[in-house]
Amino acid sequence: MASIPRSQALDVDSILHQLTEEFEVSPDRIRTIIKQFNEEMEKGLDHEGATVPMIPSFVTGRPTGTEIGRYLALDLGGTNLRVCEFELKGKGKGYSVHQQKYVVSDQLKTGEMRHLCDFIADCVDNFISERGADHLEEALQLGFTFSFPVLQTDINRGTLMHWTKGFNCSGAINKDVVVMLQDAFLRKNINVHIAAIVNDTVGTLMAHTYLHPETTIGVILGTGTNACYYEKLAGIKKWKSEKKFEDMVVNMEWGAFDNERRVLPLTLYDNKLDRESINPRQQIFEKMISGMYLGEIVRNAMLNLVDQWMLFDGQSSSELNRQWGFETAYMSTIIADDSPALASTQHVLQDILMIPVTTTIDDRKIVKHICELVALRAARLSAAGIGAVLSHTGDINRPSVVAIDGSVYEFLPNFETNMITTLSELFGHSIEGRLKLSLAKDGSGFGAAIVAMVAHKAALAAAASS
């Protein structure tokens, strides 16, 4: 049987051009996105059940830098589970930290919540015995960074709304996750009290504010994406409890923005990813921005070209055919590859992805272009989210600092520059003088320890006065 001839219909420049058009997010589109974002934020602040839920975090006010003491922090929701012990030393002196990482297996991520809690409890137990803190009389106070959408009812109470980022444990939705984990500590006689549950964005904001009080927004651009910011009491219209604060940090859960698909420029590659994910039609914004998904979008775009004989002479490999087979980390290597023959790109394609033909320079150019476009689109959409928050608070016209953590922001080449370019395109160049995007590396654990400390002291003071 004669083989199908390689399509001659498109030369490499046409392919590159076509891809550029598919992944483009024009300034007009970004303006529409920001407008829609602002409407969704208002809905979330007004009532429960909105797509962008705008969750009050029960964290009020800013840390003062005078916080002192020894606190544990637990960080679940990224690649690893981290257990940390912080010694807060007071103003100007910062803190010291001991920490240990534990791998959470896929089986635990998708098994029963009770098993996950038992695993976390074992890790905490192991950590505190190694630190020699397992025989203390008083309970150790812990800040629990749990980076999923939790509808909080207090500083250390909250029910899980739904899972994200590949977690899917049974028996957790609509349950209080603090109660579940505290029960696991009890079952194993671990003398630890969960003083606060904190989203990673909130932890990041707190940690950065501790050193830079002018920080106004905390953003995660990592495995998942989300943001939080200080909202005025009057702005949180749905807040019906005691009104004894000026402003409170609101965890936006912006990953769910536009689940209705009104304004985001979804391509067929995004739709394929979404349909095959464990949470179809959820976290649509997150799926266009965060590290868990970007590589998969690139993979889908590559396979589409392979199937049209426009890439790798129509050949794929079992590695490239496998869902999640193209990691977002490869994008960093490929985007950073400026060698004339695109040697690192070739290495990824031939030695890691085992593409069965020798790739041509055109193949490598196309792959690099896809990686750059997917990363650029993510940076522009992230900038749109930040622009929407700054417009909402009015900080767009004032000096402000945005604390950002996460592998996408830290490791994808040019990500920050592309975000800043997008923001100046929208709000004028002068924004570059007012706005500082600042890497807040691993801040969420420290931030959780600060929140635990404030919550613990408040609980002691309340007990003393009653």
Between CA 402 and CA 437 the distance in angstroms is 5
- Closest contact distance (angstroms) between CB of 186 and ligand BGC is 26
Is the Cβ of residue 148 or residue 312 nearer to ligand BGC in the bound state? 148
Between CA 292 and CA 39 the distance in angstroms is 27
- Closest contact distance (angstroms) between CB of 444 and ligand BGC is 8
Contacts of 274 (CB under 8 A, 6+ apart): 266, 280, 281, 284, 287
Is the Cβ of residue 222 or residue 235 nearer to ligand BGC in the bound state? 222
Closest CB to ligand BGC belongs to which residue?
Answer: 224
Is the Cβ of residue 148 or residue 185 nearer to ligand BGC in the bound state? 148
Cβ(136)–Cβ(129) under 8 Å?
A: no
- Closest contact distance (angstroms) between CB of 356 and ligand BGC is 36
Reference 106, options 247, 278, 300; nearest CA is 278
Between CA 157 and CA 177 the distance in angstroms is 8
The three-class DSSP label of residue 170 is: strand
Measure Cα distances from 347 to 335, 343, 351, 360 in Å.
13, 6, 5, 12
Q: How far apart are the first and last CA of the chain?
A: 88
Is the Cβ of residue 40 or residue 286 nearer to ligand BGC in the bound state? 286
- Closest contact distance (angstroms) between CB of 409 and ligand BGC is 12
Is the Cβ of residue 159 or residue 333 nearer to ligand BGC in the bound state? 159
The H or E element containing residue 89 is strand 80-89
Is the Cβ of residue 151 or residue 329 nearer to ligand BGC in the bound state? 151
Between CA 56 and CA 59 the distance in angstroms is 8
- Closest contact distance (angstroms) between CB of 33 and ligand BGC is 19
Is the Cβ of residue 164 or residue 317 nearer to ligand BGC in the bound state? 164
- Closest contact distance (angstroms) between CB of 99 and ligand BGC is 18
What tokens appear for 68 in the block?
A: 């002192």
DSSP secondary structure letters along 378-446: HHHHHHHHHHHHHHHHTGGGS-EEEEEESHHHHHSTTHHHHHHHHHHHHH-TTHHHHEEEEE-TTHHHH
| Helix boundaries (H) for 242-360 | 268-276, 284-289, 294-307, 318-321, 328-335, 343-347
The set of catalytic residues is 165, 200
- What are φ and ψ of residue 148, in 5° steps? -140, 165
Q: Is the dihedral of CA 442, 56, 33, 51 positive or negative?
A: positive
Is the Cβ of residue 199 or residue 216 nearer to ligand BGC in the bound state? 199
Q: Is the dihedral of CA 134, 139, 143, 146 positive or negative?
A: positive
Q: Token pair 């396979």 is at which residue?
A: 303
- Closest contact distance (angstroms) between CB of 148 and ligand BGC is 5
Is the Cβ of residue 85 or residue 200 nearer to ligand BGC in the bound state? 200
Cβ(410)–Cβ(171) under 8 Å?
A: no
Which spans of this chain sit near ligand BGC (rule: CB under 6 A)? 77, 147-149, 164-165, 199-201, 220, 222, 224-226, 253, 255, 286
What tokens appear for 102 in the block?
A: 């534990």
Reference 258, options 30, 25, 24, 33; nearest CA is 33
- Closest contact distance (angstroms) between CB of 200 and ligand BGC is 5
Tally of CB atoms within 10 A around 139: 14
- Closest contact distance (angstroms) between CB of 77 and ligand BGC is 5
DSSP secondary structure letters along 115-147: HHHHHHHHHHHHHHHHTT-TT-SSPEEEEEEE-
